[in-house]
Amino acid sequence: MCGIVGYIGGGSAKRIIIDGLKRLEYRGYDSSGIALAANGRIAVEKTVGRIAALEDRMAGMDLDGHAGIGHTRWATHGAPSDANAHPHTSADGEIAIVHNGIIENYLELREWLSGEHGVPFRSETDSEVVAHLIRLYYEGDLLDAVFRAVGRMRGAYAIGAMAASEPDRIVAVRKDAPLIAGLGEDCNFLASDIPALLKYARTIYLLENNETVLVTRNEVSIFNERREKVKRDVYHVTWDADAAEKGGHDHFMIKEIYEQPKGISDTMGRRLGADGGIRLDGISLARRELERIERVYIVACGTAYHAGLVGKYAIERLAGMPVEVDVASEFRYREPFVNDRTLFICISQSGETLDTLEALREAKRRGARALSVVNVVGSSVARESDDVFYTWAGPEIAVASTKAYTTQLVCMYLLALYMGRELGRLGDGEYARLVDELGRAPGRIESILAQEKRVQEIAKKIYRSEQVFFIGRGPDASVALEGSLKLKEISYINSFAIAAGELKHGTIALIEQDTLVIALATQSRLAGKLLSNIEEVKARGARVISLAMEGDANVERQSDETIFIPRCADEVAPLLAVVPLQLLAYHIAKLRGCDIDKPKNLAKSVTVE
């Protein structure tokens, strides 16, 4: 969601912080700002809109320093405005803060600060209370004031703070929201995500929950809740900095669509031995442990949830285990049947999605074994899980997830295959066949990407549509959900997906002349039934674009347009089928002139409930 960047050193704080904020634009935001320690005061500049607007406002100003904090805000409390943008300051300008997350008891604190202490408020945000609270406790020691202020706050947050009287120090605290500290040469950094620092620092500290960090030009000190210094191993970032750049593409999204064959190959290559056996990165799930498991829960949000739905099919089909898939935001507010005989699988690209993290904690409280499928090494979900199955998609910058989804599917397939073999549910022949099918997926996706011009032609015919229905059966119904989500995320078309068999139970009332229907027909055992659903909507005047296996003449005859994927096993078809839907969403959004990498109201990492 929101982004934080902090710097202290011998260089231009303004230049470095602005550059870092630009590298966090993918997280989603509606305003930005910067606070700089200079000439015995803290100078603040902020504005609604893109970072370019902040740069324009600061152009020509004699405003810089060697320490500062910056922020990109995505509105939660208070509409996007200059007043609500960060940084926020205390009334006298002594304290400046940036804040990600939510202060749950901010109304109580606001009334107390204004009522008992006469503090004037200038914004509608929950964040402003943090600046005033730190100022209330500030007696010349910023670290002490932050500790005392945090003791009064409830919520999930990452906070960075500066004091005009201590221009050589930045203090930050992490509670249920991502925060890292970067180590440079004669300088140090803060950030909410690694890409902000890639250009400047590759050695970082991953802050744990409820830790506070003091950053100076020459030192980074980490403290626990008892104010004791903590020793922490550094983490070395191994990404190629170019991985976080567009590399000649118009948008990160299309670049990442084209990176899927490599991401899938990397994710599989680390797990498949020369003998075809699957290695689970040190995860111990021997037959005896698997036989203890009574049920599997898969919990996630958004695109990761859709990957979980496909994972359910894979585990039930290949391992013969009962699987329930739940939306993370709902999981912990009911009474799930989770105990010490439950395998709890949470899926998250960022590993920082708060709903997923809280669901994980709830499952562990109930005794479940927690296994996470995560893309970001060292993320909160990864650190708090019993076992981690990393995807190797590389950094995903576009808000609309693509390569994270397909690598998550690969992890679910590998896990299902491993479990099925250990439990004796899969014979050697079927196991080898499906491993071979997975191995062929990158090449087959390359052939789908080679059809991009065909997808563009179809996009030109339908991009003015304002309503789209996606239908499918079996795993195709789950892929339809993801295709629909991609379209609505970046094109803003009113799109939704249903299991095709549910058409006649209400939705078919909405089908009329020229209604656009995208039908997924990749499951051979359900092809006849899906064909009947296509005929149903065609009979009511619908315009049908179908996605089918190569050579499926029956579907082609019944459709206005057909996109083919290479023939493959039904079980792994979702891995291929989603790619043309990603391309279609991208080209429709491009034709509609949408801001594809930064769609309105959306954020890459959702760190609030």
Catalytic residues: 2, 604
Nearest to 396 by CA among 269, 207, 262: 262
Return the ∠ at Cα 594 (arms to 589 and 596), rounded to 5°. 75
3-state SS, residue 397: coil
Q: In what order do the strands lie in the sheet with 180-183?
A: 41-48, 31-38, 67-73, 3-9, 187-191, 180-183, 203-206, 235-236
**Could you give phi then psi for residue 236, rounded to 5 degrees?**
-100, 120
Q: How far apart are CA 341 and CA 290, in angstroms?
A: 9
Token duo for residue 36: 């700089």
User: How would you write 532-569 as a 3-class SS string?
Assistant: HHHHHHHCCCCEEEEEEECCCHHHHHHCCEEEEECCCC
Task: Report the Cα–Cα distance between both ends of the chain, in Å, rounded.
Answer: 11
Which amino acid belongs to residue 574? P
Where helices occur in 450-519 by DSSP H, the ranges are 452-462, 475-491
Evaluate whether 519 touches 553 at the Cβ level (below 8 Å). Answer: no
Does an H or E element contain 347, and which? strand 342-348
Per-residue DSSP letters for 256-267? Answer: HHHTHHHHHHHH
Evaluate whether 69 touches 190 at the Cβ level (below 8 Å). Answer: yes
Phi-psi region of 328 (alpha: psi -120 to 50; beta: other; left: phi over 0): alpha
Beta strand pairing status for 41-48 and 31-38? antiparallel
Which amino acid belongs to residue 425? R
Q: How far apart are CA 201 and CA 196, in angstroms?
A: 9
Other Cβ atoms within 10 Å of 211 Cβ, number = 20
**Could you give phi then psi for residue 319, rounded to 5 degrees?**
-110, -15
In sequence order, what are the residues at sequence separation of 6 or more whose Cβ sits closer than 8 angstroms to the Cβ of residue 284? Answer: none
Q: How far apart are CA 413 and CA 407, in angstroms?
A: 10
